Structure 1
């Protein structure tokens, strides 16, 4: 069964922006946006080429990013190879916040990315690589950058390095920031103030709030419902609020495991990883080759790398070409939840990925890459729990399709779900999984490299359910 209509809030009027004003602005941005993306031959990529020695696909400036080879070894033997994006720069994903009539609002951007399935999505105030905001591309300056860097920046509320997709990026990190301002902020045409409540409601819609905005929203401790009233009606909402508030009164909102137990479980998962990963020349990756149009694997199950030509009238650079990683199919990320003594718990997974800086990060209960399906889930309980169809006692609390990074991936989509299972679900599923409260996961977001990008995205979406 599903309970989506009850759990998905409608976009409501805020003290600054009405729902009608937002929708009118959003429609106007789509109407006036001038953009065009088409696949081109690799030979038509300006300043991009395959290196004659390594085979790596890179930019002539040595900046931006490159497509290289990844190799994993276990016991001295090669166990996995694939292409991977190497982007060593640390970019800024930053949201400017300001209070209007005592309600905190976020300055969001309608940003076109070449890989977005619908072109425009809501992004942070600043979403820029170091190459972009230092103008290596010789384009225009990044709007609002001064609020995050330099003497005039706002009061820093959040500043943490967080990872991105460990299956497709080599040790990629971005600086997730939130700054508070009190003075007047000029609002450009592509920008709009939205309250946190309005943003939470918009995460229920497919492909509206982009991945970079979701990761920053997940890191906002002041967005928690600490003052929300528990109604005592035995609802999912009450259990969720208690899951955020458990530290305020452990006697009435107990957690299944202590923070020390969670960290010990996490470290134990890292010690079980007896593999190593490294970058290798792309030409050494077995089973992969490229023709004039794409780099792909012989089996046709993995992603492709393609080249695109882009025109975007509202970007700092109006025309450019670049490679994009193009997944085959749709991914899936699911948090199973259950109530323990009236407190909602999420089943977190300690998930290894070859491209992560520290090998393992906490992920949703089930995380399937594009090209994988439920038959690839080894544990029978988990496989049954996320198989679509009626299941006794299971309630789908959240279900939407969201885009991944549109600046590096082409039409990369993940189906994000929150599924509540009965309270009598097993306490122990597998050594790789542990029941934790929402607050315990959120507290780890003060630090980098604990929760992966899919877990952070899903936590941002979970905020819409209280």
Structure 2
């Protein structure tokens, strides 16, 4: 783990002082409790689903999934059902020509380090409509009334489709011209500063990474038409869209909602719901006391994964332009069958008992990469409001190989960034890695490069 200390290349002293000061006033204290001990939740042992008595927030239900193709074509699981669109928004402003983002220190019950660097606004509809009867969400008005401001990005994107059933959030970046004061627990940071902080384990939240990935990727030179080749070479955007549409037309994903008591392979015990193999994840209960949030205390069910996941991009260059190897990923929570994911997206320990042929493609290549080929390596947390101490190792590995597989394609960062302007093309895990790739490959001459010179 990279140390979080003052005056390091990743955490300058000013940020360190602000973040540690925020930690004194913004925190959660979390106690794991049986599901039956959750206040305001219906979690009886024979309950068909875990639901809040208000009928709002979210529920945990049973799901059976059938895929028409893939190594595993049918399985049962609990899944989070939250049929409302939240807002994830970052407010930006230019200070002397340098773009800065208003970020907040936010505590979530599932965060490993308690406090993480989060977007300006991170709220479900239940939160900002006042269902929790808590304090209003700061700065929400900038994202609900955008007419007087410049909207840089505004797009609905999926949550993690293996944990959430067709859940979406409105990812927004809004630029303001007037002065906006940073309230307690908020600070203005440059993009360069935020991208350096991405190299610190469990610091920049998943929701922040999702919004940061929506930043336009600037200045990438185009691949010359003569270098375009089908198969293992780069694709035109038209070919890429056709490839995705063909997969969505070919692959059949059928889901069936079931009572939790009818899920095959899952058992309800005193501490929660778990798979009989001891793998995958558990459904647990937590009781939370909080400071610096809209509500001071609550209880809820959460999902707690077994083992650290892995999300990785293989990267190569065509005519000097970095391209990443994306994978078509059908998942039960997808709105439109498949989204583009990283080269590798899995929890390796879930495959330890299987023969080599059953392991995900390129997993071993990524795990055994020579150190000089690893360009980025950090472990970052998943969404801490619903997922408890759940993390993924983020890897970017450069390669000279150009594998050709029908479920994978090489795409440039500008192509991937362009797809981010539309809903349901790039999954959460790939967006999280794309935020890291911005820091690695933003070219000289871009606004970010100018910002680096001014802030160095």
**Does the 8 Å CA contact 1:72/1:354 hold for their aligned counterparts?**
yes
Which of 93, 100, 104 is 2:99 aligned to? 104
Whether 1:47 aligns to 2:40 is: yes
Deviations for 1:204-258, whole angstroms, at most 9, x for unmatched residues? 111111000000000111xx342xxxxxxxxxxxxxxxxx3327x7689998211
Q: Which residue in 2 is equivalent to 1:211?
A: 206
Q: Which residue in 2 is equivalent to 1:188?
A: 183
> In the aligned structure 2, how far is the partner of 1:414 from the partner of 1:302?
14
Q: Which residue in 2 is equivalent to 1:156?
A: 151
> In the aligned structure 2, how far is the partner of 1:209 from the partner of 1:48?
30
Segments of 5+ residues of structure 1 without an aligned counterpart are: 1-8, 13-18, 227-243
| TM-score under structure 1 length normalisation | 0.86
SS in 1 for 2:257: strand
Which of 104, 116, 121 is 1:126 aligned to? 121
- Deviation for aligned residue 1:32: 3.5
- Deviation for aligned residue 1:11: 4.2
Which of 19, 22, 33 is 2:15 aligned to? 22
* Cα distance, 1:445–1:284 mapped onto 2, change above 3 Å: same
- Deviation for aligned residue 1:300: 1.2
Deviations for 1:169-226, whole angstroms, at most 9, x for unmatched residues? 10010000111111121211100000111111111111111000000000111xx342
* Cα distance, 1:252–1:186 mapped onto 2, change above 3 Å: farther
Q: Which residue in 1 is equivalent to 2:446?
A: none
Whether 1:95 aligns to 2:73 is: no
Which of 446, 453, 464 is 2:428 aligned to? 453
Deviations for 1:12-41, whole angstroms, at most 9, x for unmatched residues? 8xxxxxx32211101111234343111012
- Deviation for aligned residue 1:268: 2.3
> In the aligned structure 1, how far is the partner of 2:228 from the partner of 2:16?
39
- Deviation for aligned residue 1:295: 0.8
Q: Which residue in 2 is equivalent to 1:351?
A: 329
* Cα distance, 1:338–1:379 mapped onto 2, change above 3 Å: farther
Out of 249-258 and 200-209, give the one that drifted further.
249-258
Q: Which residue in 1 is equivalent to 2:275?
A: 297
Matches within 5 A, 1:389-428: 390=370, 395-422=373-400, 425-428=401-404
Which of 264, 273, 284 is 1:286 aligned to? 264
- Deviation for aligned residue 1:378: 4.5
SS in 1 for 2:105: strand
> In the aligned structure 2, how far is the partner of 1:271 from the partner of 1:371?
32
Deviations for 1:149-179, whole angstroms, at most 9, x for unmatched residues? 1377633221100001111110010000111
Give the RMSD, CA atoms, in angstroms: 2.5
Whether 1:432 aligns to 2:407 is: yes
- Deviation for aligned residue 1:298: 1.3
SS in 1 for 2:303: strand
**Does the 8 Å CA contact 2:253/2:330 hold for their aligned counterparts?**
no
SS in 2 for 1:24: helix
